[in-house]
Structure 1
Amino acid sequence: MQSPSAFTTAQIRTQVRKLRRDLSPQQRLSAQQSIYQQIQHHPKVAKANHIAIFLSFDGELETKPIIEYLWQQNKAVYLPRIHPFHHHSLLFIRYHPQTKLNINQFGIAEPKLNVNEVIPYQKLDLIFTPLVAFDQRNYRIGMGGGYYDRLLANQNLTRTYPIGLAFACQKLDHLPNQPWDIQLPEIITA
């Protein structure tokens, strides 16, 4: 891919999503196994009790094995869903094997709203963050809705630690960023 500065954010999204989807099954499996091992040996994962993660969509890293691992470690796992009243915000709902899922307006599976299973995002220890592209400075480009940018801008990052998850093909030298873009402290990749 040419220098990202030659492309708009929308063009970067399109190009990198295609690169991600075009990974061969062997490339995908090898990278995912490496990322899973990094997560299993990560000290912040070991210490965390309440962990938010996303369900894979559009060629993203497969997160179901991570969720299974977290359950085996007796971690409380939470999935994002679009807030029913504040449509530009996310809620995090406890995810169990029997949790019912709906498909939202973007085609992404999310848990049905159950107010008894909602956790305030400030009480999450870790948030595994999806992304389309990222750069050496750990700036990310998401799908374009701004949900995670708003979330990360509103929280105290000393309590909740965000970690991006991505394939190495999603890394670019430098992404154009806006003042509201949030630099992630860490991205796990392979």
Structure 2
Amino acid sequence: MNIRQSIRQKRRELSLAQRNNAQTIIYQKIKNHPAVSQAQHIAIFLSFDGEVDTKPIIEYLWQQNKSVYLPVPVADHQLLFLNYSPKTPLIKNKFGILQPAIDETSSITIEQLDIVFTPLVAFDERGYRMGMGGGYYDRALANYQKQQILPIGLAFACQKVAKLDNQPWDIKLPEIIYA
């Protein structure tokens, strides 16, 4: 079993109590995060395959009058960020993940985002992340420092590994919130 399969399996095997305890800590860290309180445009993913449940985070962001955007995969392994509100209808994409239907009028450029919460399969102490293998986030965040975007990974502690074999194009996250 490779690292991606192994960590996904570990994540799925977390008990409900372990998952809830970790998520409570993660939610508190987000609520107390100075960058989150200052941000207006925040991209976040809808949870899939045992990832940290982002629904309570999204609801909190809406309560704080933040504009929330969901990543939508499009051609050439690019991400489009579409506005997401409680009334946004969702459809399943080719990966089986819920997303808004593509509507260019509700999209925002990545440069307009303040924070991008990123999913990940595994991460290491240096901030490197392993995603699902499509390179969508690495492409989207390639210039995040120049664009003054804060990418933040969300994970469970069981997803941390000693060291990932990163490639030159892999994006090192400045912050990963986990418990």
Please classify the TM superposition score into its range, dividing by the shorter chain length.
Answer: over 0.9
How big is the shift at 1:116? 1.8
Instruction: Quote the Cα distance in structure 1 between the aligned partners of 2:4 and 2:37.
Output: 32
8 Å contact kept, 1:52–1:92: yes
- Spell out, residue by residue over 1:5-24, the C-alpha distance to the aligned partner (whole angstroms, 9 max, x if none): xxxxx811000000000000
Instruction: Quote the Cα distance in structure 2 between the aligned partners of 1:115 and 1:32.
Output: 33
Match runs of 1:19-168 below 5 Å: 19-83=10-74, 86-157=75-146, 159-168=148-157
- Spell out, residue by residue over 1:54-101, the C-alpha distance to the aligned partner (whole angstroms, 9 max, x if none): 000000000000000000000000001112xx3310000000111111
How big is the shift at 1:158? 5.1
- Spell out, residue by residue over 1:9-44, the C-alpha distance to the aligned partner (whole angstroms, 9 max, x if none): x81100000000000000000000000000000000
User: How large is the RMSD of aligned CA atoms in angstroms?
Assistant: 1.1
Instruction: Quote the Cα distance in structure 1 between the aligned partners of 2:153 and 2:67.
Output: 19
Match of 1:187 in 2: 176
Instruction: Quote the Cα distance in structure 2 between the aligned partners of 1:87 and 1:152.
Output: 15
Unaligned 5+ segments in structure 2 are none
8 Å contact kept, 2:69–2:83: yes
- TM superposition score normalised by structure 1: 0.91
How big is the shift at 1:152? 1.1
- % of aligned pairs identical? 61
Equivalences, count: 179
- TM superposition score normalised by structure 2: 0.97
Q: Does 1:16 align with 2:15?
A: no
Unaligned 5+ segments in structure 1 are 1-9
8 Å contact kept, 2:123–2:164: yes
